[in-house]
Structure 1
Amino acid sequence: MMKKLATGLAAVAATSALALALPSAASASTADSDSWGPVYSQHYQAKASGWVSVDWADDDHESNTITVRGKLWDLDNRSYDEGGKCAYVKFQASDFDDNWSTVYTKKYCGYPAFKRFSFDSDDVSSLRVKVCQIDLHGSYPRNCGSWSSIYTGDSETE
């Protein structure tokens, strides 16, 4: 009986310690992270949203790593025979010389569910996202929404 009581008290103490530690750990990790989205395709048949964070490698703000996490939803309930399409998300980053390039794309077919994604990109001054639709076996996105800015480093360097 005493052994069960001691084990139970130890479990409660460990759980309490973990619960007390989690809020501070969660607030520390979200302090450098901003949510973005939702961003939609044209006609609202695909959606993406998530979080973006920046880690500066130096105090002069000349080198960084952007981390993006998110979810991509396929909201097109039509069958492929009826013209249904998959969800598609595209990210472009601008370097510190204002040159834009595609840094990540993701395709997901699976109405009504979502697919998680994440990626990192180095030396980013701005980041934007666009959500589209794409044919099941296609390579050309269509029905795209407009570009949405999800990060700009201008405000951090002032």
Structure 2
Amino acid sequence: MRIRNVLGAAATATALTLGMGAVASAANAAPLSANDWDYDDDWGYYYSSNGKAKAKGWVDVEYDHEESNTVRIGGKLVDRDFRTEHQGGKCGYVAFRYVSWDDHEDDWASSYKTYKQCGTDGWKNIKFTRYDVAQVEVKVCQIGLHSNFPTKCGSWHEIYNAWDDEFGYTV
């Protein structure tokens, strides 16, 4: 009986080892088509540093071929500052920054898209498309009603990065 258990355990271990090798090699294999690089996920909620603005949404990346894609980002921005402007209340603000395939990783240059929502009675829809993008980050802030300078910003959050294996793009 003891010999059967030992042989059974050895056979199970061998099968697992061989099976895991097949899984590991499949995970490292190059994609069969550009569709294998496609990526979609939800992001957020992300908040301003004081919690008075928040945003959440989704990102959808579709590849035509290597380093050629369409990135769609959508979601909503919510202003949670119930103070009036006279009381010091500010609007919700969200900024997206992105890097194209022609740039280097984390080379943010001047590629930004921003949205502003003033008033707690609704939200601002976020929806835009960019092409040939390798990396996208988002941050939420507050901004004055007539200002161009955001304040109380949360940190940048990565929502897509083709250079990071976690997002499924490998060549």
TM-score (norm 1): 0.75
Structure with a larger share of its residues in helix: 1
Shift of 1:152: 1.1
Identity in percent: 44
Instruction: Find 2:61's aligned residue among 54, 63, 68.
Output: 54
- In 1, distance between residues paired with 2:79 and 2:50? 12
8 Å contact from structure 1 (residues 77, 112) kept in 2: no
Match of 1:93 among 95, 98, 117: 98
Q: Work out the CA distance in 2 between the residues paired with 1:157 and 1:118.
A: 23
What displacement does 1:43 show?
0.7
- Relative to structure 1, the CA distance from residue 44 to residue 112 in structure 2 (aligned partners, 3 Å threshold; closer, same or farther) is farther
Equivalent pair of 2:83/2:89 in contact (CA under 8 Å): yes
The CA RMSD measured in Å over matched residues stands at 1.4
CA contact (8 A) 1:41 1:143 kept: yes
Q: Matched residue of 2:113: which SS?
A: strand
Alignment match of 2:150 (pick from 110, 127, 141): 141
Q: For 1:7-156, list aligned pairs within 5 A.
A: 32-58=39-65, 61-96=66-101, 97-98=103-104, 99-100=107-108, 101-154=110-163, 155=165, 156=168
| Alpha-carbon separation, structure 1, partners of 2:99 and 2:111 | 9
Q: Which has the larger radius of gyration?
A: 2
Task: Give 5+ residue unaligned stretches, structure 1.
Answer: 1-30
Note the residue ranges of structure 2 that are not aligned, 5 or more in a row: 1-37
Equivalent pairs, count: 126
CA–CA distance in 2 between the matches of 1:64 and 1:54?
7
